[in-house]
Amino acid sequence: MFFSLSSAPQYLVIFWAFTYIGAWFNGLTVIILLYLGAFSLPLLYEQNRPLIDQYLELANSKITEISDKYAASVHHITTFLLITHLLIYSQSSLSKKGRRCCAR
């Protein structure tokens, strides 16, 4: 399975959050909190839907903005590295063509 470079930080943040939360709580405690949250969060969302949707839209726009900047910078960096590699390889292949095979 192949992943793009732009999704790698997302997985790093998720795994870091899992280890950070895991350092605070026992596994059973996390399961109990997830169970309680599964039944209380939908009720809280229904009661505060407009406010929550407003903040989710704001967070989504910021995440999209940051990920677009990151994807653009990764694209520029990979393009720069590719061009640099091609220039170095072409210069080394040109200098090898001028040499003789055997020293006399």
What's the rounded Cα separation, in Å, for the pair 24 and 21? 5
pLDDT at 93 over 80: no
3-state DSSP call for residue 44?
helix
**pLDDT value, residue 36:** 94
Cβ-contact 40, 48 below 8 angstroms:
no
Tokens 């809280």, residue located: 44
**pLDDT value, residue 98:** 54
Long-range contacts of 1-9 (CB under 8 A, 24+ apart): 5/74, 5/78, 6/67, 6/70, 6/71, 6/74, 9/70
Which of the two residues, 24 and 89, has the higher pLDDT score? 24
**pLDDT value, residue 40:** 94
Query: Domain limits of the chain?
Result: 10-69
pTM score, whole prediction = 0.47
